[in-house]
């Protein structure tokens, strides 16, 4: 008989979280997956429509905030989770510059509430999904430099500072209380269900609509891109591995300048580069992120499987095939989906 586990996935209606939900439901049909999501601006319940429909017995959606200790406690009592994977976070750098407080509250206090519940209920593992942005940035003229798990935390924005703070709190709970934890710090993800305000989906959608493609500064900022399914595989291996107290960098070996990605998208869609519009640079804009993922390859055997040139084509095709999904978001209608699904059941 298969080993059955219950996993609470917070932020599972967001981009990476929803991809993780679908990955786990497919790979572990005997697991119970419980999604807790506050459905803030980037949480989209319609993204989980298929999970709700196709997995009525082993998937549950709960609307709620990870900072709500009473709600989290009741959920732990009901579901008795074996593992908690925390994707829930305010995550857009531009928004963090405009409203730092929301990021500090959700991204630091939320994990604290979750870990208190994990400690009380003897959960097997609490996994914190972090970001390479906690390391700050690297110079463009030093391609030999990479972030390792031992790189000092040197956050640049309120967003990355809040994620770095959460990582420190997670490790403090591990050392002080013996809480079983793990942390993954990933590079930029791309793929299906990516919220339209982020770089790749924004450029795809604007290009499809023949709208200007806004590029910050000179467009030379470099990011390491990771196909979201590869990221999900990495987290799966970490939470099922002997990784208590460990931090893993998860990178895609796909460093590209923003401007090159934009030009590639235009080429794939047969659109002119004249649509590119350079705009004022973001405050404190990091120049380069680059991850060294050798630890996770060495210890768990993980490495990225999707080359960027293949992943970006798959991603573009997904947005072409799912116009209803992103058009609903652009119109704001996605925010009403929860009421349509659950309003009559209140």
Give the whole-angstrom CA distance, residue 174 versus residue 180.
Answer: 6
Which secondary-structure segment (H or E) carries 259? helix 258-269
Q: Which two three-digit tokens encode residue 335?
A: 């925010």
Residue 12: partners with Cβ closer than 8 Å, 6 or more residues away: 18, 20, 21, 33, 35, 36, 37, 48, 61, 87
Name 257's bridge partners.
Answer: 222
Residue 320, C-beta contacts closer than 8 angstroms, at least 6 positions apart: 208
Known catalytic residue at 82: no
Cα 310 from Cα 329, distance rounded (Å):
26
Measured CA to CA in angstroms, residue 237 lies from 24, 105, 205, 242, 302 at distances of 11, 29, 33, 9, 8
Are 306 and 315 in contact, with CB atoms under 8 Å apart?
A: no
- Burial label for 142, CB within 10 Å (0-12, 13-18, 19+), is exposed
**Catalytic residue (one of 159, 173, 289, 334):** 159
- 328 counts as catalytic: no
User: Which residue among the candidates 65, 82, 90, 132 is catalytic per the annotation?
Assistant: 132
141 is written with which tokens?
């003229």
Give the 3-state secondary structure of residue 88. Answer: coil
**How far is 91 from 72, CA to CA, in rounded Å?**
21
Tokens, residue 189: 């993800």
**Strands 255-257, 222-227: pairing kind:** antiparallel
- Cα 183 to its chain centre, rounded Å, is 13
| Among 65, 82, 90, 133, the one annotated catalytic | 133
Phi, psi for residue 283 in degrees, rounded to 5? -60, 130
- 216 an active-site residue? no
Q: Which residues are catalytic?
A: 132-133, 159
């Amino acid at each position: 008989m298969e080993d059955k586990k219950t996993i609470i996935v917070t932020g599972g209606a967001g981009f990476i979280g929803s991809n993780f939900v679908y990955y786990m439901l497919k790979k572990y049909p005997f697991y119970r997956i419980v999604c807790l999501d506050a459905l803030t601006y980037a949480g989209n319940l319609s993204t989980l429509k298929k999970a709700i429909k196709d997995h009525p017995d082993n998937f549950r959606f709960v609307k709620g905030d990870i900072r709500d200790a009473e709600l989290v406690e009741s959920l732990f009592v009901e579901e008795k989770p074996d593992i908690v994977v925390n994707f829930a976070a305010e995550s857009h750098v531009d928004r963090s510059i405009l409203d730092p407080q929301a990021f500090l509250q959700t991204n630091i206090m939320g994990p604290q509430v979750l870990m208190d519940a994990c400690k009380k209920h003897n959960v097997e593992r609490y996994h914190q999904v972090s970001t390479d942005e906690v390391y700050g940035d690297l110079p463009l003229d030093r391609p030999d430099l990479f972030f390792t798990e031992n790189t000092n935390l040197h956050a640049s924005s309120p967003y990355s500072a809040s994620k770095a703070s959460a990582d420190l709190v997670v490790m403090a709970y591990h050392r002080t209380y013996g809480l079983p934890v793990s942390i993954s710090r990933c590079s930029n993800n791309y793929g299906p269900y990516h919220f339209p305000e982020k770089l790749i989906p924004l450029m795809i959608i604007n290009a499809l609509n023949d709208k200007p493609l806004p590029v910050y500064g000179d467009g030379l900022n470099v990011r390491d891109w990771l196909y979201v399914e590869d990221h999900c595989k990495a987290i799966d291996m970490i939470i099922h591995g002997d990784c208590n107290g460990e931090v893993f960098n998860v990178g895609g070996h796909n460093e590209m300048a923003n401007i090159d990605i934009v030009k590639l998208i235009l080429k794939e869609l047969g659109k002119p580069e004249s649509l590119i519009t350079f705009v004022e640079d973001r405050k404190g804009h990091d120049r380069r992120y680059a991850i060294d993922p050798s630890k996770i390859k060495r210890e768990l055997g993980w490495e990225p499987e999707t080359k960027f040139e293949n992943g970006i084509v798959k991603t573009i095709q997904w947005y072409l095939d799912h116009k209803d999904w992103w058009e609903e978001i652009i119109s704001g209608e996605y925010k009403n989906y929860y009421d349509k699904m659950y309003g009559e059941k209140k």
